[in-house]
Amino acid sequence: MTRSAPLAGDAGDVRFSPAASRCVMTQIVMPEHTNGTAGVMFGGVMMQWIDVCAGVAAMRHAGGSVVTASIDRLDFITPVHVGEVVVLQAQVNYVSRTSMEVGCRVETEEMATRRRRYTTKAYLTFVSLGPDHEPRPVPALELVTDDDRRRHAEAEHRRAERLRAAGRVRGATPQPKDGAS
């Protein structure tokens, strides 16, 4: 398999593959993670876990501090219940100059059958910060596998749409999120 040229980033010769940033985080849903209704897990707790798992992937790639700049739309496909084991997997899909898109896939794991159940996925944008707390260039991303290339191409489209919606493209005005007035 041929390796592609490193993409974006602006931190000298340093470059890392998406796999180098991968973070796998496993949690057990405890009673305090539920909303009290039939032991269903709080969406907000899941969002926090996603932010942490994806944030670690971003920090690994950046080699330092990051902040969450945005989280794309999040759909919870099936409920997660108390006692279930939740596996979150995140890795960097795309880098620009100082920002990175990280994809995070969430599954529940059933020990008896060894089956995984897809619960949700999210795309988050993190910005690398330097010691002065200003945005800092990130290392380039080296795409190694066909999946890396597919994720990167899809992420490029999402970034364009995200920046347009945030009013960060010349001539665009910020769009309200779904459900916001």
Ligand X SMILES: CC(C)(COP(=O)(O)OP(=O)(O)OC[C@H]1O[C@@H](n2cnc3c(N)ncnc32)[C@H](O)[C@@H]1OP(=O)(O)O)[C@@H](O)C(=O)NCCC(=O)NCCS
Rule CB under 6 A: which residues touch ligand X?
Answer: 67-70, 96-99, 125, 127, 135, 162-163, 166, 168
Question: Smaller CB distance to ligand X: residue 80 or 124?
Answer: 124
Which residue's Cβ lies closest to ligand X?
A: 96
What minimum distance in Å lies between the beta carbon of 176 and ligand X? 14
Question: Smaller CB distance to ligand X: residue 21 or 99?
Answer: 99
Q: How far apart are CA 7 and CA 100, in angstroms?
A: 12
- At which residue do the structure tokens 């973070």 appear? 23
- At which residue do the structure tokens 């919870």 appear? 76
What minimum distance in Å lies between the beta carbon of 162 and ligand X? 5
| DSSP H or E segment with residue 110 | strand 99-110
What minimum distance in Å lies between the beta carbon of 78 and ligand X? 27
What minimum distance in Å lies between the beta carbon of 119 and ligand X? 23
Question: Smaller CB distance to ligand X: residue 34 or 96?
Answer: 96
What minimum distance in Å lies between the beta carbon of 70 and ligand X? 4
- Dihedral sign for Cα 125, 126, 127, 132, please: positive
Q: What are the b/e assignments for 126-152, b being 16+ CB within 10 Å?
A: bbbbeeeeebbbbbbbbbbeeebeebb
Question: Smaller CB distance to ligand X: residue 69 or 82?
Answer: 69
83: left (phi > 0), else alpha (psi -120 to 50), else beta?
left
Question: Smaller CB distance to ligand X: residue 83 or 130?
Answer: 130
